[in-house]
Each structure stands twice: as structure tokens, then as C-alpha cells.
């Protein structure tokens, strides 16, 4: 009989910002499950009340609201930050106003939390012009 080792890895703790109805969370948990890595969502946030209700229905926990009103110190420590922040200000199909669009400034809330919590990794929504926005000046922030 094969000797199977029990997975004794500590759970990877993550936060799910601009979580919507939970797309990043589902992907993270499925990928971790396929690799046999335990994960635990320790905080989620979304300003949209309809999304909050759907997320709560999907995961049995209601996301916090407006991330701009949440002190980074109040966010639990975590290993990975996931953020599906509003991409319209940077998207090639949007108006490309970047930081001149209020939604674009949410990028700085991600940076604020990264600075305060210093997770081992972060994953932002793939937005084609994020790094190239403003002639590459946004990339310096990354």
C-alpha cells in the first residue's frame, strides 16, 4: 500500500478586493485545490450592494464596502492580495482617463494596502493598458 503524506501546509491567506460576485476567489480556490494547497479568504470588499449580496449568497460572507473608507490596518494580514479593480479608466475600450477617472484612483488604494500589509504576492486584473498608461508612468507605480 502506498504511504500517502497528509498535507500539513499552513493555509495561504488572501484578500479579495473589488471582489464582484467572486470570480477571482473561485479561480484561486480551484487552482489551489488542484495543487492540494489550502487557502483561506480572510477579507473581501466591494462597494456594489448587488455584488455584495451575490457574493454573500455564493460564499456565506458579506464583503466590506467602500475600500477607500477602510483603514489598511483593519484588513487582516494576508499572503496574497487579489484585486479586480475597475478597469474602465485603463482599458483600450474605455475612455483611457486613467487617474483622472475616480475609478482609476482605486489603484492607489491597492498600493496603500500593499504598502501597509506587504503580502508575498499580489494579482491584479489583467488590463492591457495598465502598465502602458500615461506613456508608461503607471508602470513605475507597479
Q: Please state the pTM of the whole predicted model.
A: 0.77
CB 21 within 8 A of CB 51: yes
- How far is the CA of 63 from the CAs of 56, 73, 124, 135, in angstroms? 7, 17, 18, 35
Most confident of 4-13, 59-68, 78-87: 59-68
pLDDT at 97: 61
Give the lowest-confidence range in 17-26, 37-46, 69-78, 99-108: 99-108
- The answer as to CATH 3.40.50.150 being correct for domain 12-141 is yes
Question: Active-site residues: which are they?
Answer: 87
* All structural domains of the chain with their residue ranges: 12-141
Strand partners, 15: 43, 81
Amino acid at each position: 500500500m502506498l504511504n500517502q503524506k497528509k498535507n500539513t501546509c499552513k493555509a495561504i491567506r488572501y484578500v479579495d478586493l473589488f471582489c464582484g460576485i467572486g470570480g477571482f476567489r473561485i479561480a484561486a480556490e480551484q487552482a489551489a485545490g488542484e495543487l492540494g494547497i489550502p487557502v483561506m479568504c480572510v477579507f473581501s470588499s466591494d462597494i456594489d450592494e448587488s455584488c455584495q449580496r451575490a457574493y454573500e449568497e455564493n460564499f456565506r460572507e458579506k464583503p466590506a464596502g467602500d475600500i477607500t473608507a477602510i483603514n489598511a490596518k483593519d484588513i487582516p494580514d494576508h499572503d496574497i492580495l487579489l484585486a479586480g479593480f475597475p478597469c474602465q479608466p485603463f482599458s483600450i475600450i474605455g475612455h483611457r482617463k486613467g487617474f483622472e477617472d475616480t475609478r482609476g484612483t482605486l489603484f492607489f488604494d491597492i498600493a496603500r494596502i500593499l504598502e501597509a500589509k506587504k503580502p508575498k504576492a499580489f494579482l491584479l486584473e489583467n488590463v492591457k493598458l495598465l502598465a502602458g498608461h500615461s506613456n508608461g508612468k503607471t508602470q513605475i507605480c507597479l
